[in-house]
Amino acid sequence: MTFLHIGFDDTDSPLGGCTTYLCAKIVEKLSSLNVTFIDYPLLIRLNPNVPFRTRGNAALCLRIKIKEDLEEAVKQIVLEEIKRGANLSFRNTNPGIVFYEGEKIPPALKKLSIKTMQDIVTVKEALKTAETVGAEIHTLKSTRGIIGALAAIGSLLENDHTYEILTYRIPENYGKPRKLDFASIKNMNSATSPNTFCNIDDGRILITPHGPDPILYGIRGETAEIVYAAHNMVISLEPIERWIIFRSNQGTDMHLRLIKNISQVRPYASVILDGEVCGKPKTIPGGHIIVQIKDSTGKIDCAAYEPTGPFREVIKHLIPGDQVRVYGGVRPASSLHPLTINLEKIEILKLAPLFVKSNPKCTMCGKSMTSMGKNKGFKCKKCGLKSSIFEKSTLEVPRPLSEKLYLPPPRAHRHLTRPKERIGKSSKKPETMFIPWHYP
Amino acid sequence: MDNSKMCEICEEGVVASECFLCKRRVCASCLSQSICVICNETLCTNCRKQLSDRACNVCGSLVCEDCSVKINEEIICLNCNPKRRF
């Protein structure tokens, strides 16, 4: 028997298509060949800050066990299905398919996988890794797609993972509004949350995408069983062509890497960084909030964008001296702004005291006194007391923030962002697979 | 070898210079004309001056903020925008 790992990436475009859909079709075809799937299909989200991505920067991996004589047939199915389904006419769609044989995944592939999630990887680096580990690569246009394909194979999700069930529409409905029973989604959310997450946010449905892709809806959760049960609670008002359960790194924060200081911040990386707020937060056109933080090596802007809604209020209330830990993706500098961390969340480690100066109280009647001018003292308007010895008093006022982690609402989350329902949770790789995990 | 002396990109070569755009400390083979291989791959295809942070939804080319416009949540590069039919 042969262990075959199949990774693929970059088959879709903004005009349509979805790599997960091709994966579902490949699974259907391979199932008819009686191959043994040794894991759920993996849906691996890569660094969300790279400019090459189409939407969510996902790559896919299938791990199977087959008889040696079936190997060529399997490879043929995969290559044909991707050739047929990929949107090759779009300039930025560069499908990459990688086959790797072996029971164990080499450390070099695991390392590349982590780097692809947290930073940016060059094609040269990926090609070199493929050669080192002996992976078989196939490209349909340029070689860019092999980066994600290799990264998906290298990702074992041993320490944490989530699941997502994705349902697909019949082709006749592509591009039309999605028809689902809203009440059934609300019921499903009440019955399964927090074991499923990011279903609804403030009355807005989050399980359906909005683009022309074939996905009808996707439900994310802690186990394959719960996402399957949740799927059965949702009433679809249009036909479902197929569905499949993926094991994924979504909602795990796997893209974030703790860096030591600001001097180590690089464009496109996803970072966790400690610093001290060093300026008043500013609101810029569009309703975005910018706050600057510093450490011994420099200063950097952090941005909370308008779609993060109430999260911006947290940033607005920061004051110089607050110690914070910021989480986010690094946006390269342009002529309009310097290097900036796009905030995905923020942890307030220590709040600085906030003092306000106020006029003194009248010693006779207790009323607030008013200033008579610079260095001229204060007078009481009620009882007429005047004195030049009074001074403004300094009062510490309570801060509207606490020393804790703040997240934007689910609608503004990245796919990889760990939602509040998953804080402190982790899931070990399952020993058995839940059945059914795909249809047909 | 001391990690601080190793190339930030290939993690193999010895640091020879700093990338002019991203400040990565890289080895000679990861640097070309003062910019590193990562910046070379992500440079805006229009102005070739700044790093891109988006791809045009029409032609797919990588562009920077200055060389693109946002129309109905879609990023369109300055080359494709005048050719669009409304």
A386-390 LR contacts (CB < 8 Å, sep 24+): A390/A360
b (16+ CB within 10 A) / e for A277-304? beeebeeeeeebbbbbbebeeeebbbbb
Please tell me chain B's helix, strand, coil percentages from 3-state DSSP, rounded to the nearest 5: 15, 30, 55
Identity (one letter) of the amino acid at B40?
Answer: N
Tens of pLDDT, residues A14-42: 777 889 999 999 999 999 988 999 999 99
| Residue A212 pLDDT | 85
Q: How many CA atoms lie within 13 A of A73 on its CB side?
A: 12
Identity (one letter) of the amino acid at B74?
Answer: E
Residues 6 or more apart whose CB falls under 8 angstroms from that of A165 comprise A218, A219, A227, A228, A230, A231, A243, A244, A245, A246
Residues 6 or more apart whose CB falls under 8 angstroms from that of B59 comprise A91, A92, B77, B79, B80
Query: Chain B within 8 Å of A264 (Cβ-Cβ)?
Result: no
Are A331 and B53 an interchain contact pair (Cβ–Cβ within 8 Å)?
A: yes
Residues 6 or more apart whose CB falls under 8 angstroms from that of A419 comprise A197, A198, A251, A407, A410, A413
* Minimal CA separation from A90 to chain B, in Å: 7
What distance in Å separates the CA atoms of residue A24 and residue A81, rounded to the nearest whole number?
A: 10
Q: What is the mean pLDDT of chain B?
A: 88
Q: How many interface pairs between A and B have CB atoms less than 8 angstroms apart?
A: 66
pLDDT over 90 for what percent of chain A?
A: 78
N- to C-terminal Cα distance for chain B?
59
pLDDT over 70 for what percent of chain A?
A: 100
What distance in Å separates the CA atoms of residue A417 and residue A117, rounded to the nearest whole number?
A: 12
**B73 pLDDT above the threshold of 70:** yes
| Residue A429 pLDDT | 84
Asked if residue A54 lies in contact with residue A91, where contact means CB atoms within 8 angstroms, the answer is: no
* Chain A environment of B65 (Cβ under 8 Å): 334, 336-337
Tens of pLDDT, residues A227-246: 999 999 999 999 999 999 99
**SS3 state of residue A127:** helix
Query: Which among B41, B62, B65 has CB closest to A334?
Result: B65
Residue A1: C-alpha distances to residues A102, A168, A318, A340 (Å)? 10, 33, 60, 50
* CA angle (A110, A111, A116) in 5-degree steps: 100
Tokens of A280: 């008043």
* Chain B environment of A124 (Cβ under 8 Å): 37
Closest CA to A265 of A291, A314, A302, A318: A302
What are the backbone dihedrals phi and psi of residue A216, each rounded to the nearest 5 degrees, phi first? -90, -55
* Chain B environment of A111 (Cβ under 8 Å): none
What average pLDDT does this structure show over A198-205?
Answer: 93
Q: Which residue has the tokens 């008013």?
A: A370
Q: Specify whether A270 is located in the same domain as A366.
A: no
The residue among A395 and A406 whose pLDDT is bigger is A406
Nearest CA in chain A to B9: A121
What distance in Å separates the CA atoms of residue A58 and residue A99, rounded to the nearest whole number?
A: 18
Query: Chain A within 8 Å of B50 (Cβ-Cβ)?
Result: yes
Q: Specify whether A10 is located in the same domain as A117.
A: yes
* Minimal CA separation from A121 to chain B, in Å: 8
Final residue before a domain boundary, out of A140, A156, A172: A156
Tens of pLDDT, residues A158-196: 999 999 999 999 999 998 999 999 999 999 999 999 999
**SS3 state of residue A432:** coil
* Chain A environment of B10 (Cβ under 8 Å): 125
Q: Specify whether A16 is located in the same domain as A122.
A: yes
| Residue A361 pLDDT | 87
* Minimal CA separation from A256 to chain B, in Å: 17
In angstroms and rounded to an integer, the radius of gyration of the C-alpha atoms of chain B is 17
Tokens of B40: 């070379």
Looking at chain B, how many residues does it have? 86
What distance in Å separates the CA atoms of residue A177 and residue A331, rounded to the nearest whole number?
A: 33
The number of beta carbons lying within 10 Å of the beta carbon of residue B4 is: 8
What average pLDDT does this structure show over A214-231?
Answer: 96
Are A51 and B42 an interchain contact pair (Cβ–Cβ within 8 Å)?
A: yes
Query: Chain A within 8 Å of B12 (Cβ-Cβ)?
Result: no
* Minimal CA separation from A158 to chain B, in Å: 25
**Domain CATH for A128:** 3.30.70.2200
Q: Specify whether A127 is located in the same domain as A79.
A: yes
What are the backbone dihedrals phi and psi of residue A412, each rounded to the nearest 5 degrees, phi first? -105, 10
What average pLDDT does this structure show over B65-84?
Answer: 87
N- to C-terminal Cα distance for chain A?
25
Query: Chain A within 8 Å of B79 (Cβ-Cβ)?
Result: no
Q: Specify whether A140 is located in the same domain as A27.
A: yes
Q: Specify whether A366 is located in the same domain as A325.
A: no
Beta pairing partners, A64: A4, A37
Closest CA to A123 of A101, A100, A141: A141
Q: Which of B4, B41, B72 to mutate to test the interface with A (most CBs of A within 10 A)?
A: B41
Query: Chain A within 8 Å of B60 (Cβ-Cβ)?
Result: yes
Q: Specify whether A312 is located in the same domain as A374.
A: no
Domain limits for position A382 = 361-396
- pLDDT grade, residue B32 (50/70/90)? confident
Q: Which of B4, B43, B47, B53 to mutate to test the interface with A (most CBs of A within 10 A)?
A: B53
What average pLDDT does this structure show over A73-87?
Answer: 92
Q: Specify whether A264 is located in the same domain as A344.
A: yes
- pLDDT grade, residue B84 (50/70/90)? confident
Tokens of A303: 């941005």
Are A52 and B59 an interchain contact pair (Cβ–Cβ within 8 Å)?
A: no
Query: Chain A within 8 Å of B78 (Cβ-Cβ)?
Result: no
Burial of A239 (0-12, 13-18, 19+ CB in 10 A): exposed
Q: Specify whether A53 is located in the same domain as A66.
A: yes
Q: Kindly state whether residue A79 falls inside one of the protein's structural domains.
A: yes
Q: Kindly state whether residue A150 falls inside one of the protein's structural domains.
A: yes
What distance in Å separates the CA atoms of residue A225 and residue A218, rounded to the nearest whole number?
A: 14
Winning range, highest mean pLDDT, from A339-353, A381-395, B3-17, B28-42: A339-353
| Residue A109 pLDDT | 96
**Domain CATH for A264:** 2.40.50.1010
Q: Kindly state whether residue A245 falls inside one of the protein's structural domains.
A: no
Tokens of A278: 């060093």
Residues 74-93 of A with CB under 8 A from B: 90-93
| Residue B1 pLDDT | 53
**A352 pLDDT above the threshold of 80:** yes
Query: Could you give the number of structural domains in chain A?
Result: 3
Tens of pLDDT, residues A121-140: 999 899 999 999 999 999 99
Q: Kindly state whether residue A209 falls inside one of the protein's structural domains.
A: no
* Minimal CA separation from A286 to chain B, in Å: 13
Query: Which among A90, A267, A268 has CB closest to B60?
Result: A90
Which ipTM value was assigned to this complex?
0.90
Query: Which among A93, A266, A334 has CB closest to B66?
Result: A334
Tokens of A41: 């299909």
Final residue before a domain boundary, out of A118, A138, A156: A156
Asked if residue A299 lies in contact with residue A382, where contact means CB atoms within 8 angstroms, the answer is: no
* pTM listed for this prediction: 0.91
**B3 pLDDT above the threshold of 70:** no
Q: Specify whether A369 is located in the same domain as A321.
A: no
Instruction: Please list the alpha-helical segments (H only) found in A258-415.
Output: 311-316
b (16+ CB within 10 A) / e for A184-215? ebeebbeebbebbbbbbeeeebbbebebebbb
* Chain B environment of A268 (Cβ under 8 Å): 38, 42
Q: Kindly state whether residue A434 falls inside one of the protein's structural domains.
A: no
Q: Specify whether A295 is located in the same domain as A332.
A: yes
Q: What is the mean pLDDT of chain A?
A: 93
Are A335 and B50 an interchain contact pair (Cβ–Cβ within 8 Å)?
A: yes
Final residue before a domain boundary, out of A99, A132, A156: A156
* Chain A environment of B21 (Cβ under 8 Å): 267, 332
**B14 pLDDT above the threshold of 80:** yes
Are B22 and A332 an interchain contact pair (Cβ–Cβ within 8 Å)?
A: yes
* Chain A environment of B8 (Cβ under 8 Å): 266
**Domain ranges (residues) in chain B:** 3-42, 43-86
Q: Kindly state whether residue A249 falls inside one of the protein's structural domains.
A: no
Query: Which among B51, B60, B66 has CB closest to A267?
Result: B51
Q: Specify whether A312 is located in the same domain as A377.
A: no
The number of beta carbons lying within 10 Å of the beta carbon of residue A27 is: 21
